[in-house]
């Protein structure tokens, strides 16, 4: 996979000091997990599912989940399974033309028994475009069996399949059981480290356990009980940098009247306009606010600040904002290079004369920045996510997928 592959060479040259790299799907696990970016969910019942997967490539989607769990009714499971199997076979039978590629496609199951059943119906040939399985409500009880089922499915497929556990069950968020539950999850994913691509957060389920739903004017970090749970998930499951934890779903895509004014500043958009003498960036900001995407932008920034990479999304219009915000700035990249240039400790001033870089405390941060730089690229000096967003927004699909 390669991010922003739909952009022409001239645009890539204009935007990037270092362009995104081609990421091998069977290469470094943490690099591939970083490159998942905005993972688009689609219900397994959606008509023309194979066509939708192919279409999302042009929208810049690099990872998709075909869902057999909460997005479909209990009475639709059999039809959804048949639809997903047919879609994966279609994708395998009609592979993309050279250079086109496909997103990494995962199937979210609702029961462990679906994994052997689906892989048996697909067979090695039909599973050629299957990247792995998403395991909902992952916990110590049942978690080992789910991971072993994915391993056995890999044997049938004739190649490794990834597992992505989702943390969204009561023991994970209830205060009296949380540490024990998360510690058990960490033991499981450590044991299966080469099999677990990333750990995902089920924010909707976690909110639902308390009868809560965040308003579109708020981020998930404004919901205190979920914010505290996210902090503990990062503390226990992401500690040491061995495992990637992804950002929770953003579930809004239409904008009614707002209660609060937007916190998305005008300045970076006005600066972009001053470069080319137009008002395009300011108009883009207005469109982002009108579509409620400024709240998504704020949540992605908070995700990154709290140690989460990538995000679950339910609409193609979310993709450009998430990916633009993951591109590494020139300042981040330069500081990361400074930190990784030596391993003897000490402090180095940033070449931007605005901060100190401590070589040991900031090393894990710098390594994560370099993975993000390889996956999403490094901006040219003076550019921000605004320039990337302006170049990529027109490629997002207009239709909802969930």
pLDDT of 282 above 90: no
**Residue 81 falls within a domain, yes or no?**
yes
Tokens 């119906």 identify what position? 121
**Residue 35 falls within a domain, yes or no?**
yes
pLDDT of 401 above 60: no
State which of 96-100, 245-249, 346-350 shows the largest mean pLDDT: 245-249
pLDDT of 135 above 80: yes
How would you list the strands of the sheet with 63-67, edge to edge? 200-201, 162-167, 130-135, 104-108, 63-67, 38-43, 311-313, 247-250
**Residue 361 falls within a domain, yes or no?**
no
**Residue 293 falls within a domain, yes or no?**
yes
Give me the number of domains the chain comprises.
Answer: 1
pLDDT of 164 above 50: yes
State which of 52-66, 289-303, 370-384 shows the largest mean pLDDT: 370-384
**Residue 180 falls within a domain, yes or no?**
yes
The whole-number pLDDT of residue 293 equals 83
**Residue 184 falls within a domain, yes or no?**
yes
Stated pTM of the model: 0.91
Query: For residue 191, what is the domain's CATH number?
Result: 3.20.20.60
The whole-number pLDDT of residue 402 equals 42
**Residue 380 falls within a domain, yes or no?**
no
**Residue 273 falls within a domain, yes or no?**
no
pLDDT of 20 above 90: yes
Task: Please give the residue range of the domain that contains residue 52.
Answer: 24-259+287-326
pLDDT in tens, 316-356: 989 999 999 999 999 999 999 999 997 778 898 898 889 99
Q: What angle do CA 229, 235, 236 make, to 5 degrees?
A: 95
The whole-number pLDDT of residue 268 equals 81
10 Å CB burial of residue 33 (0-12, 13-18, 19+) is buried
Residues sharing a CB contact under 8 Å with residue 98, sequence separation 6 or more, in sequence order: none
Which residues are 39's β-sheet partners? Answer: 63, 312
The lowest-confidence range among 85-99, 128-142, 230-244 is 85-99
């Amino acid at each position: 996979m390669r991010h922003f592959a739909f952009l022409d060479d001239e645009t890539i040259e204009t935007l990037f000091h270092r362009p995104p790299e081609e990421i091998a799907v069977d290469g470094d696990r943490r690099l591939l997990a970083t490159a998942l970016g905005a993972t688009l969910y689609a219900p397994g019942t959606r008509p023309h599912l194979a066509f939708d997967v192919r279409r999302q490539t042009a929208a810049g989607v690099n990872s998709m989940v075909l869902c057999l769990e909460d997005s479909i009714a209990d009475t639709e499971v059999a039809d959804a399974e048949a639809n997903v199997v047919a879609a994966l076979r279609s994708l395998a039978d009609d592979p993309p033309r050279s250079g086109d590629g496909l997103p990494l496609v995962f199937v979210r199951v609702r029961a462990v028994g679906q994994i052997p059943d689906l892989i048996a119906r697909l067979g090695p040939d039909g599973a050629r475009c299957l990247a792995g399985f998403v395991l909902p409500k992952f916990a110590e009880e049942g978690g080992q069996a789910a991971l072993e089922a994915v391993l056995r499915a890999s044997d049938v497929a004739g190649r490794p399949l990834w597992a992505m556990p989702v943390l969204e069950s009561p023991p994970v968020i209830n205060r009296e059981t949380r540490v024990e539950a998360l510690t058990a999850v960490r033991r499981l994913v450590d044991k299966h480290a080469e099999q677990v691509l990333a750990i995902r957060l089920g924010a909707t389920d976690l909110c639902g356990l308390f009868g809560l739903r965040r308003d579109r004017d708020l981020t998930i970090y404004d919901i205190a009980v979920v914010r505290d749970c996210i902090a503990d998930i990062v503390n226990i499951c992401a500690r040491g940098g061995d495992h990637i934890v992804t950002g929770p779903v953003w579930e809004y895509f239409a904008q009614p009247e707002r209660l609060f004014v937007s916190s998305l500043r005008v300045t970076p958009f006005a600066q972009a306009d001053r470069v080319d003498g137009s008002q395009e960036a300011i108009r883009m900001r207005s469109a982002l606010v009108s579509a409620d995407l400024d709240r998504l932008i704020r949540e992605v920034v908070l995700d990154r600040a709290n140690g989460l990479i990538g995000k679950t999304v339910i609409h193609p219009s979310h993709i450009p904002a998430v990916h633009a915000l993951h591109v590494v700035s020139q300042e981040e990249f330069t500081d990361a290079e400074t930190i990784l240039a030596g391993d003897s400790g000490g402090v180095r001033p940033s070449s931007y004369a605005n901060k100190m870089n401590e070589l040991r405390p900031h090393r894990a941060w710098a390594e994560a920045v370099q993975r993000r730089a390889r996956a999403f690229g490094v901006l040219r000096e003076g550019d921000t996510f605004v320039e990337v967003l302006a170049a990529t927004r027109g490629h997002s699909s207009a239709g909802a997928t969930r």
